[in-house]
Amino acid sequence: MKINSVATSCECPNILELKDPQSPNHDDEILFTEGAGCDRNITCGSKRFTHVAFYFKDSEIVLDDGAPRATAALFPYPFEGEETGLPVDIFILFGMMCENKEWYVTKYPTGFTYHPTGNSPSKLVGTNGEYDGKKSKIHVLSCAPVLIA
């Protein structure tokens, strides 16, 4: 008889190791908790500095005009004017998961932005959830402090 159990450890490295080294924030400003297995809570302020980036070459998402070395970024709000600084758990929002010792996003609730070519304007795509369920390996993440009222 097999008994179901919850994993108590995670095979992935510390997800905070993916923090953008150029981010203006310090580790002590990230509200972070670890649960059983690979369950995490990463609460950030919904501002421009809060984002997760991936390379198309490390993603199940294929775009006709997306170069494989191009990066894409996910933000917790769809448009710049909607920055609030209010708390958002990006781990849940972006469906972060561990697989084969790597961290992935699987949800794109506000779509993602990318530059099709080096100097072209950015594009926002996937705002209708069409890419949800597709895995993209996290390259870097950045977390803005939560606005405290």
Residue 6 belongs to some domain of the structure:
no
Confidence at residue 25, expressed as pLDDT on a 0 to 100 scale: 55
Q: Distance between CA atoms of 82 and 66, rounded to whole angstroms?
A: 26
Residue 2 belongs to some domain of the structure:
no
Residue range 24-51, pLDDT digits in tens? 655 566 788 887 888 899 888 887 788 8
Residue 52 belongs to some domain of the structure:
yes
Of 35, 28, 21, the closest CA to residue 98 belongs to 35
Cβ contact 72:57 at 8 Å: no
User: What's the average model confidence in pLDDT over 103-119?
Assistant: 88
Residue 46 belongs to some domain of the structure:
yes
Edge-to-edge order in the sheet of strand 71-74: 123-125, 112-114, 71-74, 51-55, 140-142
Confidence at residue 79, expressed as pLDDT on a 0 to 100 scale: 58
Residue 10 belongs to some domain of the structure:
no
Q: Who wins on pLDDT, 39 or 2?
A: 39
How many C-beta atoms surround the C-beta of residue 119 within 10 A? 5
The number of distinct structural domains making up the chain is: 1
Q: Distance between CA atoms of 133 and 21, rounded to whole angstroms?
A: 28
Cβ contact 46:78 at 8 Å: no
Domain hosting residue 42, numbered range: 23-142
User: What's the average model confidence in pLDDT over 77-97?
Assistant: 80
Residue 62 belongs to some domain of the structure:
yes
User: What's the average model confidence in pLDDT over 85-98?
Assistant: 90
Exposure string for 31-60, b = 16+ CB within 10 A, e = fewer: ebeeeeebbbebbbbbbebbbbbbbbebbe
